[in-house]
Amino acid sequence: MEKHLHELTAECESRLKAGASALDVVEHAVADMERSGLYVAGRGSAPNTAGYIELDASIMDGPTRNAGAVAAITGVVNPVSVARRVMEETPHVMLAGKGALAFAREQGLEEVADPDSYYVLPVGVYEDEIYEQKHGTVGAVALDQSGGLAAATSTGGIFGKLEGRIGDTPLIGAGTWADDDIAISCTGMGEDIIRAGGVVTIAYMIKAGATPAAAVDDMLAEVKRLGGDGGVIAVTRDSEIVMTYNSQGMKRAAVSSGKPVTVATFKD
């Protein structure tokens, strides 16, 4: 998995250097992780209590403030790409459930041919744990050469979740945010992230004068106070990267024009 994250991050760096937009790069990174089956998103997800897989994803473009999301979608290979089409091809921000799938079909986006053989347990999760409250998410944030910021997030949610349960990930402002100053994506107990006000609180704390690191710490402390834990990745328009968590660990990778690719899971 570290190898996968390292290679993917290096590839995203090449794309940004070649002039790709932050929006294209975050969609690419999240779609790749969704396909990998290594993380709790896309292919690596577990069924809800009704026995089938429902996925959530969102994407946001800082320069335009456009955003798209899908919630409790079934049967698509890349929920993040459906979210992007919702952003670009509809007047809406979020589609859910069977309407989201119908829209993905109409857009010709790839569907899972055989759910029974497609879905796998992500790395570190075992069969007897799929009805425990395990969870995970993938996310990406990027700053491109023209100063554009974007963020995208995708998840299989909480294992053993009730049918129809939707967490923070597809909620713009809760699991994903991008504006002219910062792009943010988060992971953790969705219910507590939502009740803490989500990642948009970080953006507004910064506007009120907090440093990015302090604002992220504050938001995560509130998630903890409410009983959950989580992690945040963010990049600012000044290229400051913040990757902080108060969960046990958070698989993460970063690269910038000044620093080579780094990959880590626990405190380093």
Number of residues located near ligand ASP, criterion CB under 6 A: 13
Helical (H) or strand (E) element with 99: helix 97-106
Q: Using the rule CB under 6 A, is 44 a contact of ligand ASP?
A: no
Q: Using the rule CB under 6 A, is 252 a contact of ligand ASP?
A: no
Q: Using the rule CB under 6 A, is 190 a contact of ligand ASP?
A: yes
Q: Which stretch binds ligand ASP (CB under 6 A): 21-29, 30-38, 182-190, 213-221?
A: 182-190
Q: Which stretch binds ligand ASP (CB under 6 A): 23-31, 100-108, 186-194, 206-214?
A: 186-194
Which structure tokens are listed for 140? 């990406």
- Cα–Cα dist 39/1, whole Å: 9
- Cα–Cα dist 10/15, whole Å: 9
Q: Nearer to ligand ASP by C-beta: 21 or 169?
A: 169
Place of tokens 């944030």: 141
Terminal Cα distance for the chain, rounded = 17
Quote the DSSP letter at residue 111. Answer: B
Catalytic, out of 74, 137, 153, 187? 137
Q: Is 236 a catalytic residue?
A: no
Contact 53, 62 (CB under 8 A): no
- Cα–Cα dist 172/100, whole Å: 16
Q: Nearer to ligand ASP by C-beta: 16 or 152?
A: 152
Q: Using the rule CB under 6 A, is 188 a contact of ligand ASP?
A: yes
Q: Using the rule CB under 6 A, is 155 a contact of ligand ASP?
A: yes
Question: What residues act catalytically?
Answer: 137
Q: Which residues bind ligand ASP (CB under 6 A)?
A: 135-137, 155, 157-158, 167-169, 187-190
